Amino acid sequence: MIVQISSALAGPQFPAGEVWLCGAGPGDPDLLTLRAVQALGQADLILHDALPGRIALRHARRSAEIVAVGKRKGAAPVPQAKINARLIAGARAGLRVLRLKGGDPFTFGRGGEEALACEAAGITWRVIPGISAGMAAPAAAGIPITHRGMASAVTFVTAHDETGALPELNWAALAQSGGTIAAFMALSRLDELALRLLAGGLDPATPVALISQASLPGQAILRTTLGPATLEAKRAGLPTPCMIIIGAVAALGQRAITHAVGGLRHAHG
């Protein structure tokens, strides 16, 4: 039996009193979806993260109130509860409220928490999917995260739990999975992450690619292996955001990226 439900995806018209959770993609403003651009042009209130490509905000209408609520280095982040309260208050005031988040709002972006808060408050919410950095960063580096005969699965993980520590995952199982591991927000936890995977049996010679500022003009790629990855990353001094790809596929794309995308800076370990 097929059960039809009303879609939570945002339509082209942005009704007053609603909250739209919108993905801004990995940073390059050309990777915004058409639906995201339409929403930016209609929103009355925009609450945005510390976007890697703030130029996306150029699509906001002139009269919109734009509020930064993201985490920034050296500054205390706006508490999630305060963000939720601002979303709800704006919608109750009859505003069209846009929550603009890097990547995809439901992929390590706390979009689910904000949706649940709106639902609990009786506020209609919708979502505009965005291109997740977990897919965009390796693609921008010419790395296929799955590849026949090399990687039949990919696991997306975050290197930070709600306390900021490395999550208590079954790292040994990940080490033995034989697939690709794509780690979000992992640069500061790379040492611990690598140690967990090595302890789980992953070969120190496993290829690793660190992709900094994916899709932006300053994109840089460090290619190394799991054993020396932490030391090489410290030497390179890559800026964030940085996606880390671990697995056989991380060795692919070195020649293709040179021809496919001009102007990229490569840091070889």
Please name each of the domains of the chain with its CATH number: 19-131 (3.40.1010.10), 134-268 (3.30.950.10)
Q: What is the pTM of this model?
A: 0.87
Percentage of the chain surpassing pLDDT 70? 89
Residue 158 host element (H or E): strand 154-158
What is the distance between the alpha carbons of residues 106 and 114, in angstroms, rounded to a whole number?
10
Q: Cα dist. 4→7, 98, 168, 198 in Å?
A: 9, 26, 37, 46
Catalytic amino acids? 49, 71, 185
Tens digit of each residue's pLDDT (9 = 90 or more) over 59-118: 999 999 999 998 755 456 789 999 999 999 999 999 999 999 999 999 998 999 999 999
Angle at 147 between CA 146 and CA 149, to 5 degrees: 130
Tens digit of each residue's pLDDT (9 = 90 or more) over 205-229: 999 999 999 999 999 999 999 999 9
Judged against a pLDDT cut of 50, whether residue 258 lies above it is answered with no
Percentage of the chain surpassing pLDDT 90? 77
Q: Cα dist. 259→77, 173, 252, 263 in Å?
A: 40, 36, 14, 10
